Amino acid sequence: MMMDFAGKSLDLSAPHVMGIVNVTPDSFSDGGRFFSADKALEQARKLVADGATIIDIGGESTRPGSEPVGVEEEIRRVVPAIEAIHAELDVVISIDTMKAEVMRAAVTAGASLINDVNALRGDGALQAAAELGVPVCLMHMQGSPQTMQQQPHYSDVVSEVNEFLSERVAACEAAGISRSKIILDPGFGFGKNARHNLRLMKHLSVITESDLPVLVGVSRKSIIGAMLNISVEERLAGSLALASIAIWQGAKIIRSHDVRETVQAVRLCEHVMQVNDFD
């Protein structure tokens, strides 16, 4: 399952780890730490050395209750970081944005994956992605970052998320985006309470049974804090546990703040899954 990212190919038949670099002052886990291009490049170097094959750059926080950022400000945040990383590191760069204008600026600067928590439903986003020609990651979110955790409701979270993603894939194909360029993300923590997240993780194979690669982002998320009653800084072990469950059920990309440890967990899962029972 090879996927081409503007000339750089990744074999998604094996799992990969996406490292997170937020050039924002207010992200829930690392807001403000990598707010300059120099700091973002320094962190990207570390993540690549630790085993990340994709670096996800975000200039607008999507934590619950976060305030939107204007287009010009978001571009001002992400483009210098993308240019610096693209100039030095041989890595796929992902732009985490909902805005068509930011997608265009980011791809021009060197990004080769559009990671949209709004699944290309924003004004002009679907057309921009089709014209830019790079792979896209479509995420499920109920509501918006400002409202998504205000009493989310589902009759059947697994089937509803799966149906939504299927509909968005169809919309992409109708717009001219090939299935070979689509990644799915069930959107853990985006418009879902703890029970919804647990059920979605338990039945993740329903989504990974598709012929499309699935990305899972559970790193340091509130479900871990809710289940274990621990702070963001204490959530590494829980993040690794959920990442391992996701890999076991067929996820191909794990989005993580803690790349070194996540790569180790993912590789160990791979070894177990690939062992020959007749050795």
Say which of 99, 168, 221, 235 is annotated catalytic.
Answer: 221
What is the Cα–Cα distance from 198 to 236, expressed in whole angstroms?
17
In angstroms, the Cα distances linking 145 to 24, 62, 63, 130, 150 are 15, 5, 6, 25, 10
Q: Quick one: tokens of 22?
A: 């937020």
Q: Measured between alpha carbons, how far is 106 from 59 in angstroms, rounded to an integer?
A: 11
**Extended strands (E) in the chain:** 2-5, 8-11, 16-22, 54-58, 92-96, 113-116, 136-139, 182-185, 215-217, 253-256
The rounded distance, in Å, linking the Cα atoms of 184 and 214 is 5
Q: Let me know if 232 is exposed, middle or buried by CB neighbors in 10 A (0-12, 13-18, 19+).
A: middle
Active site residue 181: no
- Using a 10 angstrom Cβ sphere, with 0-12 exposed, 13-18 middle and 19 or more buried, the burial of residue 279 is exposed
255 belongs to the catalytic site? yes
Active site residues: 221, 255
